[in-house]
Amino acid sequence: MTLSYLRNTLLLLDLFVVLTHGADLAISGDAVTTRFWDCCKPSCSWNGKAHFSQPVLTCDKEENPLKDFSAGTGCNGGSAYSCTNQQPWAVNDTFSYGFAGIFIQGHVEDFWCCACYQLDFTSDPLKNKTMIIQASNTAYDVATANRFSLAVPGGNTTSHDACANQFGVSQTVFGEENSGVESKDDCDNLPESMRPGCLWRFDWFQNALYPSATFKRVVCPAELTEKTGCTRDDDKALANNSQSSATTNLSSVFTVFAAVAVIITSLLLV
Ligand SMILES: *[C@@H]1O[C@H](CO)[C@@H](O)[C@H](O)[C@H]1NC(C)=O
Ligand SMILES: *[C@@H]1O[C@H](CO)[C@@H](O)[C@H](O)[C@H]1NC(C)=O
Ligand SMILES: *[C@@H]1O[C@H](CO)[C@@H](O)[C@H](O)[C@H]1NC(C)=O
Ligand SMILES: *[C@@H]1O[C@H](CO)[C@@H](O)[C@H](O)[C@H]1NC(C)=O
């Protein structure tokens, strides 16, 4: 009796783990957003940060992708900087792609490095606008809320001088502390490759300050992974989950039914 009871309990536990794991993969919630662009090597650009195809690509000063993922960050005397093609761009008036440094409460980096999330903005002036971003970086500095710090060139300053080092320009072209450049015109002072993302902030993003959003994990689109070179191993399972989401209700009803059947069977076998 005890053996089969134990076995059935374990079976139920297995089912529970499988189901909750699926829920964790498809995580969603409310978030705040901020902006950053520090030119540093992104946190998800190091080996072993998550189960992924390869870390997020970094670039040298000439903006060529670096093959060596152990290269040190340009924020600390190293040769690896953010690649400027990992900046946001608009597809149409209501939809943009981008990259972000993120923090999700109750989790650490291996949970989000290279995962993609859909952000549906919930505050003016961005209500009804949507972004899909890939998490290329980590934002542990404020851990009181789920946070997506959008990678926007000229969108914020930084205590490091990596941008000045990378482009041989004065740090002042990147604007004021905590807010970045002040106007669309100031985008002209940035290194040329960073200007489109700077202009995006004043056009599509309407220079919004700390807009709030709901977020949900989505399978990464090729538009983003072709720029970072990074795809998470669990994106396949997520794709399977979303494909089967139409039958989710039916299958969870079935799971409960199966669980009840197992319990009844184990009682009958006593
Ligand atoms: C700029 O970055 C700092 C440090 O992370 C943050 O406190 C601030 O809110 C950011 N500013 C914007 C406009 O996102
Ligand atoms: C904007 O682009 C997205 C992604 O391609 C698409 O799903 C959406 O329908 C487009 N919206 C408009 C208003 O064209
Ligand atoms: C958002 O979309 C809804 C439904 O399509 C519409 O009624 C509302 O006016 C839109 N809000 C804004 C700020 O565009
Ligand atoms: C996705 O589903 C297919 C068909 O059900 C299965 O063969 C495959 O192993 C699944 N892949 C993952 C990563 O779950």
CB 45 within 8 A of CB 59: no
Q: What is the pLDDT of residue 4?
A: 62
**210, two tokens:** 């700390």
Cα 35 to Cα 147, 149, 177, 209, 252, distances in angstroms? 10, 5, 12, 9, 40
User: Residue 266: pLDDT band by 50, 70, 90 thresholds?
Assistant: low
For residue 194, the CA-to-ligand 1 centroid distance in Å is 19
Does 92 contact ligand 2 (Cβ within 6 A)? Answer: yes
Q: What is the pLDDT of residue 22?
A: 59
**Amino acid at position 47, single letter:** N
78-103: pLDDT as tens digits: 999 999 999 999 999 999 999 999 99
Mutate to test the pocket of ligand 4, among 18, 53, 231, 236 (most ligand atoms within 8 A of CB): 236
- Average confidence score pLDDT of the chain: 87
Query: What is the Cα–Cα distance from 119 to 243, expressed in whole angstroms?
Result: 20
Ligand 1 neighbours by CB, cut-off 6 Å:
34-36, 141, 156, 178-179, 209
Query: What is the Cα–Cα distance from 136 to 88, expressed in whole angstroms?
Result: 13
Helix (H, G, I), strand (E, B) or coil at 132: strand
Has residue 46 got a pLDDT over 80? Answer: yes
Q: What is the pLDDT of residue 5?
A: 59
Which residues have C-beta within 8 Å of that of residue 182, sequence separation ≥ 6? 175, 176
221-265: pLDDT as tens digits: 999 999 999 999 999 999 988 776 544 444 454 454 555 554 554
In the chain, count of helices (H) and strands (E)? 6, 7
**pTM attached to this predicted model:** 0.84
139-178: pLDDT as tens digits: 998 888 999 999 999 999 877 889 999 999 998 999 988 9
* Atom 14 of ligand 2: nearest residue by CA position: 92
Please give the residue that has the higher pLDDT: either 187 or 1.
187
Q: What is the pLDDT of residue 93?
A: 98
Nearest ligand, CA 247:
4
Domain limits, the chain: 27-233
Please identify, by atom number, the ligand 1 atom nearest to the C-alpha of residue 157: 1
38 is a catalytic site residue? yes
DSSP for 55-102 reads PPP-B-TT-PBPS-TTPPBGGGT-SBB--TTSS-EEEETTEEEEEEEE
With residue 268 as reference, give the H or E element that holds it.
helix 248-268
CB 77 within 8 A of CB 114: no
Query: What is the Cα–Cα distance from 72 to 76, expressed in whole angstroms?
Result: 7
For residue 38, the CA-to-ligand 1 centroid distance in Å is 11
Has residue 1 got a pLDDT over 80? Answer: no
Q: Is residue 247 exposed (0-12), middle (13-18) or buried (19+ Cβ within 10 Å)?
A: exposed
- Domain covering 27-233 in this structure, CATH number: 2.40.40.10
178-222: pLDDT as tens digits: 999 999 999 999 999 999 999 999 999 999 999 999 999 999 999
Give bridge partners of residue 120 from the DSSP assignment: 130, 214
Catalytic pick among 14, 24, 30, 38: 38
Nearest ligand, CA 94:
2
Q: Backbone dihedral region of 19: left (phi > 0), alpha (psi from -120 to 50 degrees) or beta?
A: alpha
18-37: pLDDT as tens digits: 455 556 889 999 999 999 99
Please identify, by atom number, the ligand 3 atom nearest to the C-alpha of residue 127: 13
Residue 42 per-residue DSSP state = P
